[in-house]
């Protein structure tokens, strides 16, 4: 961590944040699909789903927040791909700057943009009846988990951003990420699923993350879900960071 | 004084494709050196190796006395690359592009640096607009201005006029002449022979992975039989006609090619 790394990352983050603030529609479109799903499940399908809780909004919201992040990080892949195609990445790489600052700037920008989208989605949740008596510490813990998920998924997004051949390819990776919550405890309790599906649902990261957030917001004691969720996030973060950094280095000298 | 760019026995292959097969060249400080070659001759590969974006397979390359293989950071401080496709940020304004590069070059007063360059490249008016709205010539001028920030010893211009209309090409030529006048070493790659003739102190031709000729324009011309003197009625060149009918500032009758600023 040198002084140049910090200064360069700040300068480059300022640049890509301008890309976000000058196309605020990306924040809105990121929130749009999750909000539509939220409304659809709460007002259309949710009535037929037995979750064992009184409020389906409260049950559903954590999963919707994950879908928001999965949608949002695809913009990182998109922006990185554009930088690569436009030649500006090449320009940065030929300059005397801390090389990793280029990627970190995109990751930090993704963090800011995703937090904005998450705030929009939570606001809609509040409008349609989501209530939580969780205290500031619990909310802070929820924010921490969401930040960790965003960091992990953004580093995943960096990889297609650097390797894709087309714009569509750069953002297509997010479709499986968006679908993953459907095969988890995000929409319906896993107990209702047949054997193998249930096994998968209970052993993939979304379920533990969703359960941990749900318990925190409902002021219930958080069981093993929290450490499992944190381990998943940290593991994905480190693995994706390592691959992304290697891909980035291999692209040049 | 040692060479600004020194290349010896440079080799580079991509798989079976042997792109550079022992390139030797030397660029003296403060001169404009044109590297001529057809498409695929390896010009861009050479330029990317010089600016540490690509690793070489063999040979020795030094920029401003720094070995590109071992002193990458020093090389990046000494060289500035302007690519074939103008690498400006289209979402940012022209001024923001310049400020960003000045900050990344760790200069004390980025805003002032940006304003000076906008004035020097006749972009002050356009500086507040997004670069995405610029014409091809303006973009390329902004691109060149960005590569001058921090006064690098060597500026590499990779096909700086490719894809530009004739008027924009003359704008860029003016900008390059300005660099040379200011003492910057310029390495220019081009496939336009007239561009090399107009701008370069020294010209080298890269062909099939080797430098096959290297010399001043006069030396290169001496390779062929002396000029025959003939009287010919010469119609105006299409370029003159084009510039005249579109009412360019550079139209015939302004032989200096200087625009009023």
Does A22 touch chain B if contact means CB atoms closer than 8 Å? yes
Give a yes or no: residue B255 inside a domain. Answer: no
Q: Is residue B252 part of a domain?
A: no
Q: What CATH number is associated with residue B104?
A: 3.40.50.300
| Contact residues, chain A, for B94 at CB < 8 Å | none
Q: Judge whether B237 lies within some domain.
A: no
**Chain B contacts of A4, Cβ < 8 Å?**
106
Q: In what order do the strands lie in the sheet with B66-67?
A: B17-27, B5-14, B58-63, B66-67
Q: What is the percent of chain B with per-residue pLDDT over 70, rounded to a whole number?
A: 92
3-state secondary structure at position B61: strand
B142: in domain: yes
A160 burial (CB, 10 Å; 0-12 / 13-18 / 19+) is buried
Average confidence (pLDDT) over B1-7 = 82
What is the per-residue pLDDT across A61-92, written as a single tens digit (0 to 9) for each?
999 999 999 999 999 999 999 998 888 888 89
What is the arithmetic mean of pLDDT over A192-215?
89
How are beta strands B17-27 and B5-14 bridged, if at all? antiparallel
Tally of CB atoms within 10 A around A177 = 19
Q: Do B76 and A87 touch (CB under 8 A)?
A: no
In a domain, B118, yes or no: yes
Query: Looking at residue A252, what is its pLDDT?
Result: 54
Closest Cβ–Cβ partner in A4, A92, A94 for B52: A94
Average pLDDT in the A163-183 region? 86
Query: What pLDDT, on a 0 to 100 scale, did the predictor assign at position B252?
Result: 46
Contact B99, B107 (CB under 8 A): no
d(CA A231, CA B71): 40
Q: What is the mean pLDDT of residues B62-70?
A: 90
Judge whether residue B114 has pLDDT over 70.
yes
Mean pLDDT along residues B128-147: 89
For residue B48, the enclosing domain spans 5-222
Average pLDDT of the residues in A1-9: 79
Which residues on chain A are in Cβ contact (under 8 Å) with B106? Answer: 4, 7
**pLDDT score recorded for residue A238:** 96
* A2 and chain B in contact, CB less than 8 A: no
pLDDT tens digits, one per residue of A94-117:
888 888 899 999 999 999 999 999
Chain B residues with CB within 8 Å of chain A CB: 51-55, 68, 72-73, 76-77, 79-81, 83-92, 96, 100-101, 103-106, 146
Number of independent structural domains in chain B: 1
CB-CB under 8 Å, B53 with A8? no
Pick from B117, B238, B241: nearest CA to B179: B117
A16 alpha-carbon distance from chain centroid: 18
Q: pLDDT tens, A9-55?
A: 999 999 999 998 888 887 788 888 888 888 888 887 877 777 777 78
- The mean pLDDT value of chain B amounts to 84
Q: Does residue B241 fall inside a structural domain?
A: no
Q: How far is CA B71 from CA A158, A251, B53, B59, B65, in A?
A: 28, 19, 13, 15, 10
Mean pLDDT (chain A) is 88
Which 95-124 residues of chain A touch chain B by CB within 8 A? 95-97
Measured between CA atoms, the residue of chain B closest to residue A9 is B104
Which of A67-76, A149-158, B155-164 has the weakest average pLDDT? B155-164
Out of B83, B96, B146, the one facing A90 most closely (by C-beta) is B83
Q: Is B97 domain-assigned? A: yes
Does B113 map to a domain?
yes
Q: What are the extents of the domains in chain A?
A: 3-252
Q: B52 vs A12: CB contact, 8 Å cut-off?
A: no
Q: What is the pLDDT of residues B172-193, one digit of tens each?
A: 888 888 888 888 899 999 888 8
pLDDT recorded at residue B249: 60
Least confident of A2-6, A32-36, A174-178, B244-248: B244-248
* 3-class secondary-structure state, position B155: strand
The reported pTM is 0.83
């Amino acid at each position: 961590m040198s002084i140049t790394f910090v200064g360069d990352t700040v300068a480059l983050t300022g640049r890509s944040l301008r890309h976000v603030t000058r196309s605020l529609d990306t924040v809105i479109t990121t929130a749009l699909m999750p909000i539509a799903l939220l409304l659809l499940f709460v007002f259309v399908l949710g009535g037929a789903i037995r979750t064992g809780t009184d409020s389906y909004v409260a049950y559903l919201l954590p999963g919707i927040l994950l879908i928001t992040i999965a949608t949002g990080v695809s913009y990182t892949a998109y922006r990185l791909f554009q930088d690569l195609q436009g030649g500006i990445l090449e320009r940065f790489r030929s300059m005397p700057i801390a090389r990793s600052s280029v990627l970190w700037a995109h990751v930090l920008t993704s963090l800011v943009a995703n937090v904005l989208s998450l705030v929009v989605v939570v606001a809609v949740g509040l409008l349609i009846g989501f209530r939580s008596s969780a205290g500031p510490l619990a909310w802070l813990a929820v924010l921490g988990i969401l930040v960790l998920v965003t960091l992990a998924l953004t580093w995943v997004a960096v990889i297609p951003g650097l390797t894709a051949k087309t714009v569509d390819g750069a953002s297509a990776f997010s479709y499986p990420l968006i679908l993953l919550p459907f095969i988890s405890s995000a929409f319906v309790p896993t107990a209702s699923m047949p054997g193998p599906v249930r096994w998968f649902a209970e052993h993939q990261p979304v379920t533990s993350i969703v359960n941990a957030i749900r318990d925190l917001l409902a002021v219930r004691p958080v069981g093993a879900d929290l450490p499992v969720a944190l381990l998943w996030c940290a593991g994905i973060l480190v693995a994706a960071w390592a691959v992304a950094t290697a891909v980035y280095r291999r692209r040049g000298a | 004084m040692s060479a600004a760019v020194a290349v010896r026995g440079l080799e580079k292959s991509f798989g079976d494709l042997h792109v550079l097969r022992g390139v030797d060249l030397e660029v003296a400080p403060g001169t404009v050196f044109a590297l001529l070659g057809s498409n695929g001759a390896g010009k861009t590969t050479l330029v990317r190796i010089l600016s540490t974006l690509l690793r070489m397979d063999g040979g020795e390359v030094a920029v401003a006395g720094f070995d590109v293989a071992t002193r990458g950071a020093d090389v990046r401080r000494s060289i500035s690359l302007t690519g074939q496709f103008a690498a400006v940020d289209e979402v940012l304004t022209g001024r923001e592009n310049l400020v960003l590069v000045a900050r990344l070059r760790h200069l004390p007063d980025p805003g002032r640096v940006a304003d000076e360059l906008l004035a020097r490249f006749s972009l002050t008016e356009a500086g507040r607009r997004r670069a995405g709205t610029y014409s091809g010539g303006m973009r390329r001028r902004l691109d060149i201005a960005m590569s001058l920030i921090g006064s690098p010893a060597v500026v590499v211009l990779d096909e700086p006029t490719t894809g530009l209309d004739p008027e924009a090409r003359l704008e860029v030529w003016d900008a390059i002449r300005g660099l040379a006048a200011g003492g910057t070493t310029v390495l220019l790659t081009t496939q336009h022979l007239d561009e090399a003739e107009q701008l370069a102190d020294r010209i080298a031709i890269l062909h099939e992975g080797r430098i096959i000729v290297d010399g001043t324009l006069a030396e290169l011309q001496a390779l062929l039989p002396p000029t025959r003197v003939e009287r010919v009625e010469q119609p105006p060149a299409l370029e003159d006609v084009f510039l005249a009918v579109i009412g360019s500032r550079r139209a015939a009758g302004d032989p200096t090619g200087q625009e009023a600023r």
